[in-house]
Chains A and B, each alone.
Chain A
Amino acid sequence: MKKKKIVIHSNHSRAFTGFGKHTKNLLQYLYNLDKYEIIEFANGLAWDAKETKFLPWKCYGSLPNDAQRINQLNKDPNLARAAGYGAEMVDEIIKKEKPDVYVGIEDIWGFSGYWNKKWWNKINCMVWTTLDSLPLLPEAVSAAPKIRNCYVWASFAVKEMHRLGHKHVGLLRGSLDPKHFFRLSDDNRRQLREKQNISPDEFVIGFVFRNQLRKSVPNLLEGYKLFIKKNPKSKLLLHTSWGEGWDIPRLLKEKDISPDNILTTYFCHECRDFEIKRFTEARENCRFCGGEKSQETSNVKHGITEEQLNLVYNLMDVYCHPFTSGGQEIPIQEAKLTELITLNTNYSCGEDSCSEESGGFPLEWAEYREPGTQFIKASTYAESICKQLQKVSEMPTETMAQLGKKARKFVINNFSIEVIGKKFEKIIDSMPEVDWDFDFKKIQSDPNYNPPEIEKNAEWLIDLYKNILKRDVDENDDGHKYWTQELAKGGKREEVLNYFKKVANDETQKEQIPSFEDLLDKKDKGRRIAIVLPSAQKDVFLFSSLLPSIKKLYQDYNIYFITKPEYHEILDGNPYIHKILPYGDQLDDMFTMEGRGDHEGYFEVAYFPHTTTQKFITYVHNCKDKTDFNLQCT
């Protein structure tokens, strides 16, 4: 039986991010099954990046190889962002691999525009995304009906999607590998504390965080300040990068908390060991290897391994995770796997981790709205943090142990890759065979189509989409909804029809634009000269006085003059020019035109005369400069 071919599109499986870790777990699980043909499509890597070559499975990066193309994309923040999520190469991988299943595991906006792709829902398409706030992101709500296999990581988002009528949206949590996180024996925990100079009777509260979670640090410190009054022998361990976001030392000063009570993780990039101690400087000497200023707090570039992170959790007595909102908050599950009692804000994904069955306790919160999006965000009460910390600190050891075991079991039953992997398998296995022919040729729009008499507006619009724009839409489509509203408001069918015809015309014209390479002669390869001079009339005209000399120097070469279309007329009939081509920004680059590395280029010589006259004006010199040689033909 033919194996189903699955493209898994997400953060690279070696990336130290929530999506990256989850993708690694999933790919390893699927690889071990040997049941499917799996292909990783990794965001953040170039298509042929060397990192893609050393994996057990086939892997492609989702960025183009061409550095020039990336530079071009980077000029437009929207294009750059979309490319970062794989928009540039996703069609390429579908064309190349012809998969049975496409699985996208990313933020929902990473898939923007996918619903209109030729292959969307022609093969089995699945989006497995995180949502973190209420009301749900409008983009996610409008996308849901277009995603046949739509899964989210947290139950609050499923409930809300169902409430909004999208009953097909399912719950499929992000996965964890329980073998990385576990509780050490009491002896080992004691030794660990000894090594890190933490006395056995100190009550250590831990928080592993970065990014948005920094917003909750002031709340946590306030809660800890209340707690410390009754529990002076407690420490707060903040495992984070101190160089990013909130100025924690300043907050400590403001809240009158002694820095001696606050611990953090320093990582040594020489011996790769870590040390838990009070935060002092951004860079510290390493007491293990003697490295000078080789330690810094854990950050994106330098961080501890999963194994070391497990040790960090094992130094804690309780894990406290106040947050504003979240998609899954993996550190909570990691802490639970190490049998810690977890305290977390009882909002969004946190609802799943502070239920009684989860072995965690809820933190109460107040609502505030995020400016702009109006998303509900949580500000965790300091009093609640203090209250729950007090509760855990006063808890008998046995009860703590029981709750810890319950917490681990909860994670294994709900988040472990074995459980999630099986659910995923079931979903994949239930997907139908793909009978699409992977024909990517675009069906031409038909601006000449005239619709028959159709009474109902909804059906009339579907007919226009189908026969003019060649798109299959239903009444849930955003465009359909828009036009339905316009017609209901008194808009005329004739105007709507004209609009559709205009769009069809524009699309047809765009389709007819040839690629740059198609504009060049095939026979003169290796004998081409380009003059790239985008504008203006005067410059183009003046430059024509140099063409006879260029032609004389390069007699066997063809001269291509590249300028904006409005100046082509100035060059018409010029006997020295082989072809006049339209200028585009992407051509204003020597390496694109002449080539480098893998890119062969299009021309042997490309001149960019406007560089010193328009981009950077370099020739004025107050009209006092002199030339030591004759620039004119005699």
Chain B
Amino acid sequence: MHLVEQYALTTGVKITKPFIEASYYPLVFDKYIVVENGHDVKSRTYGMWADVISEIKPYLDEKQITIIQIGDGKDDQIPGCYDLRGRTSIKQSVYVLKKSLLHCSTNDFFLDVATSFNIPVVAMYGSTFAGIAKPYWGNESQQILLESDRKGKKPTFLADENPRTVNFISPEKISNGILKLLKIKLKTKTKTKFIGDLYTAHVLEAVPDFSPPVDFNPELVVNLRMDYHFDLQNMANWGSNRKINIFTNRIIDLNYINAVKKNIVGFQQEICTDLNNKYLNILKNLRVPCELFTKNERALGKLRMKYFDHKITLKKEKTLEDIKESNKSFTFSENFHYKSNKLLLSNGKKYLSKYDYLAGREYKGESHKVIDDPKFWEDQDYLRIYEKNV
């Protein structure tokens, strides 16, 4: 039963049309679509807007259609949109919606407002059935409802889910839906083959083979890969005025750690031969948040005995088999491309994965091909793999 039908039953009256006032809001665009991504109900926040926008934007730019993001000032910003977050009242948002060509969001109030004005919508549902929350008014042929497959499970109806099931909806389904309702023909079709568990999180990594510019101050914590390149002075430079999470497979001179300890938010120590309890106790006394891990499953028991007072995590290196296990139909193809939410900086250059860094495949904005190499599959949690021109 739809939510509004339940309200009708509770009150014993019939459903008519909803009512809401609109307030004028000045806009410089004639043609635009509206997107919205909430923040308070986490399970309704879609994590791959950047992919959606990157797929539709070239088409919309051609037609001079702007993408406007409305919503609360606390909502995550969607890149490539004209930003009205926190700048409009509800009634002004209604005005913006009323004049739009299309609205796209997860299950939210503005979807219902848009359809009450017969605006085409693309709607995404994860934690709830679309059937109980879908738009109740408007022309159904102008509504594309995308419901997560939830990997065969029923909806959780939770405000915060893990994993967030709305993220199981692949970005191309949304972008295709938007373009279809706008009657724009696709030139290149894509099909998502795999989405890593951490793909929706942004990760910034740096190899300490260079010193960052003094004014480089990202909002994100920098994963400092001392395990890729061991340079104490550069480590100290990175940690001098930005928050760092150190990954290392060697022990680090305590003087250097002491120098940057106030900026160390994490310390991922891979167990190595020269590691000892005394060193770990000093780290503890320095209040360095050290986490021990090993990639060696066979040695795990012995290591846990040796470092009994510390917690050791097993971090197995991911392989192609892990992808196949979670997605039985996955078969590698030369035609696969990938996107990554991890950005790795080395010597002032950008890379999308460890493999690209090792292979010297610099990121310059274009998509990269998937390479069937064990080093490539290690980073699978951060990747979205898709097939082009299907």
- Chain A positions within 8 Å of B, measured between CB atoms, are 536-539, 541-550, 553, 569-570, 572-576, 607-609, 611-613, 617-623, 625, 627, 630-633
Judging by beta carbons under 8 Å apart, are B7 and A617 in contact? no
Q: Mark B155-166, 1 if CB is under 8 A from A, else 0.
A: 001000000000
Contacts of B91 in A (CB 8 A): 569, 572
Stretch at the interface among B16-24, B183-191, B242-250, B290-298: B16-24
In chain B, residues 187-209, which have Cβ atoms closer than 8 Å to a Cβ of chain A?
Answer: none
* Cα(A613)–Cα(B154), bound, Å: 18
Chain A residue nearest to B89 (CB atoms) is A569
B273 is an interface residue with CB less than 8 A from chain A: no
A612-B10, A619-B132 known; A627 vs B1 contact (CB < 8 Å): yes
A620-B132, A627-B1, A631-B5 known; A549 vs B14 contact (CB < 8 Å): yes
B358 is an interface residue with CB less than 8 A from chain A: no
Chain A residue nearest to B130 (CB atoms) is A623
Of the A-B pairs whose beta carbons lie under 8 Å apart in the complex, a sample of 6, sorted by A's number, is A538-B107, A538-B133, A575-B19, A617-B157, A620-B129, A633-B14
Judging by beta carbons under 8 Å apart, are B11 and A623 in contact? no
Contacts of A543 in B (CB 8 A): 4, 7
Most-contacted residue by chain A among B8, B19, B20 (CB, 10 A): B19
Judging by beta carbons under 8 Å apart, are B8 and A546 in contact? yes
Judging by beta carbons under 8 Å apart, are B10 and A545 in contact? no
Judging by beta carbons under 8 Å apart, are A621 and B1 in contact? yes
Q: Mark B103-118, 1 if CB is under 8 A from A, else 0.
A: 0000111001100100
Q: Mark B121-154, 1 if CB is under 8 A from A, else 0.
A: 0000000010111001000000000000000001
Judging by beta carbons under 8 Å apart, are B109 and A546 in contact? no
Q: Choose among A572, A611, A623 the residue that contacts B21 (Cβ–Cβ < 8 A).
A: A572
Contacts of A541 in B (CB 8 A): 18, 20, 109, 112-113, 116
Judging by beta carbons under 8 Å apart, are B1 and A542 in contact? no
Q: Choose among B4, B14, B89, B157 the residue that contacts A542 (Cβ–Cβ < 8 A).
A: B4
B9 is an interface residue with CB less than 8 A from chain A: yes
Judging by beta carbons under 8 Å apart, are B11 and A607 in contact? yes
Q: Using a Cβ cutoff of 8 Å, how many contacts connect chains A and B? A: 114
B6 is an interface residue with CB less than 8 A from chain A: yes
Most-contacted residue by chain B among A549, A553, A625, A630 (CB, 10 A): A549
A545-B4, A545-B16, A619-B3 known; A609 vs B90 contact (CB < 8 Å): no
Most-contacted residue by chain A among B5, B6, B21 (CB, 10 A): B6
Judging by beta carbons under 8 Å apart, are B16 and A549 in contact? yes
> How far in angstroms is the closest Cβ of chain B from A613?
6
Q: Choose among B6, B17, B109, B154 the residue that contacts A622 (Cβ–Cβ < 8 A).
A: B154
Q: Choose among B6, B15, B18, B131 the residue that contacts A613 (Cβ–Cβ < 8 A).
A: B6
Given contacts A542-B112, A613-B6, 13 further A-B contacts (CB under 8 A): A538-B107, A538-B108, A541-B116, A545-B17, A546-B14, A547-B19, A570-B90, A570-B109, A611-B10, A619-B6, A620-B1, A620-B132, A631-B15
Contacts of B299 in A (CB 8 A): none
Most-contacted residue by chain A among B16, B89, B116, B131 (CB, 10 A): B16
In chain B, residues 325-345, which have Cβ atoms closer than 8 Å to a Cβ of chain A?
Answer: none
Contacts of A539 in B (CB 8 A): 3, 7
Contacts of A630 in B (CB 8 A): 14
Contacts of A617 in B (CB 8 A): 157
A617-B157, A622-B154, A631-B9 known; A542 vs B136 contact (CB < 8 Å): yes
A549-B13, A631-B8 known; A544 vs B19 contact (CB < 8 Å): yes
Contacts of B7 in A (CB 8 A): 539, 542-543, 546, 609, 613
Contacts of A621 in B (CB 8 A): 1
> How far in angstroms is the closest Cβ of chain A from B109?
4
Contacts of B157 in A (CB 8 A): 617, 620
A536-B109, A620-B132, A623-B132 known; A545 vs B6 contact (CB < 8 Å): no
Chain B residue nearest to A567 (CB atoms) is B90
Contacts of A607 in B (CB 8 A): 10-11
Judging by beta carbons under 8 Å apart, are B131 and A623 in contact? yes
Contacts of B17 in A (CB 8 A): 545, 548
> How far in angstroms is the closest Cβ of chain A from B138?
13
* Cα(A620)–Cα(B129), bound, Å: 8
* Cα(A623)–Cα(B1), bound, Å: 6
Judging by beta carbons under 8 Å apart, are A570 and B132 in contact? no
> How far in angstroms is the closest Cβ of chain A from B14?
4
Most-contacted residue by chain B among A569, A573, A618 (CB, 10 A): A569
Judging by beta carbons under 8 Å apart, are B15 and A633 in contact? yes
Q: Choose among B1, B3, B20, B154 the residue that contacts A544 (Cβ–Cβ < 8 A).
A: B20
> How far in angstroms is the closest Cβ of chain A from B96?
15
* Cα(A98)–Cα(B231), bound, Å: 82
Judging by beta carbons under 8 Å apart, are B3 and A542 in contact? yes
Judging by beta carbons under 8 Å apart, are B132 and A632 in contact? no
Judging by beta carbons under 8 Å apart, are A632 and B10 in contact? no
Contacts of B14 in A (CB 8 A): 546, 549, 630-633
* Cα(A250)–Cα(B157), bound, Å: 50
Judging by beta carbons under 8 Å apart, are A538 and B1 in contact? no
Contacts of B10 in A (CB 8 A): 607-609, 611-612
